[in-house]
Amino acid sequence: MLRFEEDAGSISINGTEYRLRQLHWHSPSEHTFRGRRYSLELHMVHQTPDDKNVAVVGILYKLGRPDPFLAEMEGYIKKLEDLVEKEEKVGTVDPRHVKRGSRKYYRYMGSLTVPPCTEGVVWTIVRKIRTVSRKQMNLLREAVHDHFNPNARPIQEINGRTVNLFRPKKLP
């Protein structure tokens, strides 16, 4: 996981500001589109200034061309290989360089995907599927020492949740 100690940007959801705190990846993706899992999913974890509320932006990847943001993060990711706690503090990398590629996104209320799976998390999943190279995938897998085993939880039932698709308003 890459943790941000300083201002790394924020998002505003329904008038509440959430500050970016950390990035981590799951392989395969933890979210699906039409039942299909993708090669990788980036989670950009945000918290309110009082650390009481969490919002996660998820970006899904399929194998293809290298991702520019992951290329920028490569030095930090390589450092994770040697760390016992698997957390690297990041100072100067600007996560705003993540090219979401689409202004369309899905949003729903859910839970964290790792124990204790806390409920009340605002999830935002970017609709456009990005690409990641096999080399970048392997780098991430080596960094977390998962021996290329999946680190994503099983697909969860929707459990009555409403998932909304948001599209930007067209300007006149």
| Portion of the chain with pLDDT greater than 70, in percent | 82
Rg (CA), the chain: 16
Maximum distance among all Cα pairs of the chain, rounded to whole angstroms: 54
Which tens digits make up the pLDDT trace of 42-93? Answer: 999 999 999 999 999 999 999 999 998 888 888 877 777 665 554 545 554 5
- DSSP E strands, the chain: 2-4, 10-13, 16-26, 32-33, 36-37, 40-47, 54-63, 88-90, 105-111, 119-126, 130-132, 164-166
In this prediction, residue 9 carries a pLDDT of 84
What pTM was computed for the model? 0.86
Q: CA-to-CA distance for 141 and 63, rounded, in angstroms? A: 14
- Please report, for residues 37, 54, 143, the alpha-carbon distance to residue 79 in angstroms, rounded to integers and kept in the order given: 28, 27, 8
Domain 2-166 has CATH 3.10.200.10: yes
Q: CA-to-CA distance for 112 and 143, rounded, in angstroms? A: 22
Structure tokens at 143: 């960094």
Domain residue spans of the chain: 2-166
Q: CA-to-CA distance for 98 and 25, rounded, in angstroms? A: 14
Task: Please tell me which residue, 18 or 114, carries the higher pLDDT value.
Answer: 18
Determine contact, residues 27/37, Cβ cutoff 8 Å. Answer: no
In this prediction, residue 92 carries a pLDDT of 46
